[in-house]
Amino acid sequence: MLAATETVHHNGVMFDFAPEAGATGPELYDKLIRAAEALVAGEPDGVANMANVAALIWQFVPDLNWAGFYRMVDGVLVLGPFIGKPACLRIALGSGVCGTAALTGETQCVADVHAFPGHIACDAASESELVVPVKLAGAVIAVIDLDSPRKDRFLPDDARGIEALAAAIAPAVGG
């Protein structure tokens, strides 16, 4: 169940989630995923669900300068809901960190974006990046992209946590 500080008002407008102070790793992502599942429950619109999940990631995961989605549209990644500076609109499969994740279907955890061949710089502040494919019935339907201004920001716990989040919300994103 959600903690007392986390209230969901499905018939109202208030979504009050908060990570517990000092929560890290699996515990943090467990909370994030439960909050995301509560938020997307019953909402069929994929864009609305991606918008709320991007906002939750921003609230729960520290040290980010960009968090959001690119959606697979006719074989190209197209910018989806996000928090951060305006970003490139379309990314070809195989291009940059996002296009590599979408093409391979594999999580890309990049400790230093400047060392990643073909990295696409949308915000000069970005130093490290985590991109996780969102899959439905085995097909990549979107990617979740997190950027940090800190090198080496993303650890295996972050990759596994965002992968679990992607699996949990995939049906709500595909809608």
Cβ–Cβ under 8 Å, residues 69 and 36: no
Amino acid sitting at position 153: R
- Say how far apart CA 127 and CA 148 lie, in whole Å: 6
> Considering the rule CB under 6 A, would residue 97 count as an interface residue with ligand SME?
yes
- Give the nearest distance from C-beta 74 to ligand SME in angstroms: 18
Q: Which is nearer to ligand SME, 10 or 90 (CB)?
A: 90
d(CA 96, CA 121) in angstroms, rounded, equals 9
159 touching ligand SME, by CB under 6 A: no
- The smaller minimum CB distance to ligand SME, of residues 46 and 84, is found at 84
Instruction: Tell me: does residue 119 bind ligand SME (CB under 6 A).
Output: yes
Select 17 or 108, whichever has its Cβ closest to ligand SME.
Answer: 108
Outline where DSSP puts E strands in the chain.
Answer: 7-8, 15-16, 66-73, 76-84, 90-92, 108-110, 128-136, 139-148
127 touches ligand SME (CB under 6 A) = no
**Nearer to ligand SME (CB atom), residue 38 or residue 97:** 97
Q: Is 165 in the site for ligand SME (CB under 6 A)?
A: no
